[in-house]
Homo-oligomer: A and B are copies of this chain.
Amino acid sequence: MKILAEQKISEDSQADLARFAKALSHPTRLEILRLLSTQSCCFTGDLVEILPIAQSTVSQHLKELKIAGLIQGEIDPPKTKYCINQQNWQKAKLLFASFFE
């Protein structure tokens, strides 16, 4: 029972790790995360200015990062402010670290 439960957890962790890795697998998303983790937060508009891609594309990458759980956005009308989701950021950090031993 215990062993089965642990296997289940391990499988889930592997799926989680795959999802996090997928979120990190695009240079633009890495750049967004790097910007958000150095500055504590960013408005979408700031990112659009910095990144050499269209506003709609930035918005889409932000959406993916949000779905992956790595960032969170709060509306501060008329702007939206994004920051790292610290809880999942730590979780991802741990998952990667333990994957590499």
Contacts and interface: CB of A to CB of B under 8 A. Distances in A.
Contacts of A25: 18, 21-22, 24-25
A14 interface: yes
Copies in the complex: 2
Give chain A's interface secondary structure class: helix
Contacts of A24: 17-18, 21, 25, 99
A43 interface: no
Interface residues of A, number: 23
A13 B18 CA distance: 20
Interface string A15-46: 10110011011110011011001000000000
16 contacts: A14-B27, A14-B30, A17-B24, A17-B30, A18-B25, A18-B27, A21-B30, A22-B22, A22-B25, A24-B25, A25-B25, A30-B99, A33-B99, A93-B100, A96-B100, A97-B97
